[in-house]
Chains A and B, each alone.
Chain A
């Protein structure tokens, strides 16, 4: 189970990579392994306003349809269109080509609410949900 130490994590298994005032967001390796083969991603709209803790994307796997929650509030400034044709990228490279969107943060202090790799690894070890 890959949990890179340069990322922050939400309780709902999203990861965040901070780039200046932008947050690159995806789902963790643990999340993709639990979901199984991902077959469809509903991407957020470019320019949409998102709120921390609210749904901003939907991922469908062979097992279930799952809401993806925005780890921070802000505006969507980029989405990973490549997932439309190749949703399996989330399975293959959850922290790389499987990124979902970039959020321009409206309140970067929300990052403090997220977990570091050690705390997240702890949550996963305890059973995840």
Chain B
């Protein structure tokens, strides 16, 4: 009936209104009398003029085009797109939380402070750290906080010159980006061909300028770093600290702890591991856990418990790196994570990680005969495949990802990690049933058959979506960011 591609501006008709406002019951004033002429528009803003029904239909249709974990399988590697139980939303929406003002005094906010305090303790216990700050509001924000802590630590010891941060070539892109934002220098080390850290390369890279090593374990290849204790020892022996990128922590809860592996700092992605909403720009939460040596540098205010058992914010931390965010981070997200951890309990969290690892290995085992698997080991919570077997038919990983759209599946992460050519990284998460995994595996196997029998089907994909294959290169080279009226 109406063009589904129409923008709200194209639906506009002069004079059409979504609602009629009554005449004002106070004297009307002229805009020119209120605002200096220099600040007034010379022509009216081109705002869309539509009826209420057209408005509702337009945005309802757009909302139905979106894809989330509530609408389908979403195995986006390194992102942990698990299902978020709806009870967490109910709990976070309790009026006691939503009615709080961030400047309210301690006496009236004991419940909120207790929740933050206990969440800090839970995260410290899960990760094997001594103290936690809940302030950072994203994973990369946690990374920045962590590196600032490391820098402050070296500075306090008169080692200002330690600014080099070692990052493996398989790292998340945020790691070297954080190093740059923090005014430090990245030293990249190559991975061993088996995907692990190359201990010799690490030994050669550390020196008296080394501030830290940033590491994900399991790595971005979905592999557990078996030599992790040797790795942290090498860095510590050179006077550096070791940072744990918690993006892949969904693989290890209750099974092993970064603190026990020798890590000094960790960030958590509550929006990945601890089941808070994810995607669409947040809000997220990236709490940071540290060992005792870094505790004096944590951002203020610090949530603490006083001698009488009540809770308050401590600001008197002369060595603190300062504030990393206005107020105390994304409190509503902290409530969801707290509810999730209490609901799951210790046994539940361990089972989360066991099932996440089992599900990824199941996908790997059922797909490795039709897609090339670059590593022979068992994987952790995600597995890496490539399109190497399909390349001969002119099909690349991007084409497979596009074909998955036709089958109603969100594509896995592609072309990452960078050290695997034509990578396809699948993270099914623990919240999918065996039936869902089997359905995905069958779709992937069907696509592998299509690659043999009818490659054109894949190269032309997607054909069932609202728009077909987009010209990503043209969009990046000549971005067209703003709608303009025709003519």
Contact = CB atoms under 8 A, between A and B. Distances in A.
Given A34-B421, A128-B421, A88 B415 contact: no
Contact of A87 (B419, B472, B477): B477
Interface string A35-56: 0111110000000000000000
Contacts of B476: 37, 39-40, 60, 62
A88 B419 contact: no
User: Is the contact region of chain B dominated by helix, strand, or loop, or is it mixed?
Assistant: loop
Interface residue tally on A, bucketed by range = 10 to 19
B181 interface: no
A39 B473 contact: yes
Nearest to B471: A37
Interface in A85-129: 87-88, 127-129
Contacts of A127: 421
A62 B476 CA distance: 8
B55 interface: no
B443 interface: no
Contacts of A128: 421
A38 B398 CA distance: 15
A26 to B, nearest CB: 19
B319 interface: no
A88 B421 contact: no
Contacts of B398: 36
Contact of A62 (B416, B421, B472): B472
Contact of B419 (A60, A63, A129): A129
B112 interface: no
A88 B418 contact: no
Nearest to A35: B415
Contacts of B419: 129
Contacts of B415: 63-64
Contacts of B477: 39-40, 87-88
Contact of B473 (A34, A65, A88, A129): A88
A39 B474 CA distance: 8
Interface in A1-50: 34, 36-40
A37 B476 CA distance: 10
Nearest to B423: A63
B472 A37 contact: yes
A128 B416 CA distance: 16
Residue with the greatest number of chain A CB neighbours at <10 A, chosen from B173, B416, B418, B473: B473
A127 B473 CA distance: 25
A-B pairs, top 10 by smallest CB distance, nearest first, are A37-B473, A39-B476, A63-B415, A62-B472, A39-B477, A62-B473, A64-B418, A39-B473, A64-B415, A129-B419
Interface of B: 173, 398, 415-416, 418-419, 421, 472-473, 476-477
Given A37-B473, A37-B476, 9 more contacts: A39-B473, A40-B477, A62-B473, A64-B415, A64-B416, A87-B477, A127-B421, A128-B421, A129-B421
11 contacts: A36-B473, A37-B472, A37-B473, A39-B476, A60-B476, A62-B473, A64-B415, A64-B416, A65-B173, A88-B473, A128-B421
